[in-house]
Amino acid sequence: MTYDLSVERYDGSDQHKRMGFFTDTSLCIGCKACEIACKEWNHVPEADLVHRGTSMDNTGTLGADTWRHVAFIEERQPVELGDDGEGGLRWLMSSDVCKHCTHAACLEVCPTGALFRTEFGTVVVQEEICNGCGYCVPACPFGVIDKRKEDGRAWKCTLCYDRLKDDQTPACAQACPTQSIQFGELDDLREHAQARVAELVDRGETRAQLYLSDPADGIGGGGAFFLLLDDPEVYGLPPDPIDTTADLPGIWRTTALAAGTLLAGVLVAGFAGRRR
Q: Residues 241 to 260: which contact other proteins by CB under 8 A?
A: 241-242, 244-245, 247-248, 250-252, 254-255, 257-260
| Contact with other proteins (CB under 8 A) among 11, 12, 45, 131 | 131
Choices 39-47, 101-109, 164-172, 187-195 (CB under 8 A): range interacting with other proteins: 101-109
| Contact with other proteins (CB under 8 A) among 28, 139, 189, 208 | 139
149 CB-near residues (< 8 Å, 6+ apart): 64
Q: How far is the CB of 276 from other proteins (least distance, A)?
A: 14
Choices 27-35, 149-157, 171-179, 188-196 (CB under 8 A): range interacting with other proteins: 149-157
User: Is the CB of 29 or the CB of 264 nearer to other proteins?
Assistant: 264
Q: Are 16 and 164 in contact (CB under 8 A)?
A: no
For residue 172, the tally of other CB atoms under 10 A from its CB is 28
User: Is the CB of 185 or the CB of 230 nearer to other proteins?
Assistant: 230
Residue (of 130, 133, 157, 163) closest to 144 by Cα position? 157
| Contacts of other proteins in 151-210 (CB under 8 A) | 151-154, 206-207
Q: How far is the CB of 261 from other proteins (least distance, A)?
A: 5
Distance from C-alpha of 134 to C-alpha of 147, rounded to nearest angstrom: 7
| Contact with other proteins (CB under 8 A) among 134, 168, 184, 192 | 134
56 touches other proteins (CB under 8 A): no
| Contact with other proteins (CB under 8 A) among 35, 65, 108, 119 | 108
Q: Which long-range contacts (CB under 8 A, 24 or more apart) does 264-270 make?
A: none
| Contacts of other proteins in 25-54 (CB under 8 A) | 52, 54
User: Is the CB of 57 or the CB of 163 nearer to other proteins?
Assistant: 57
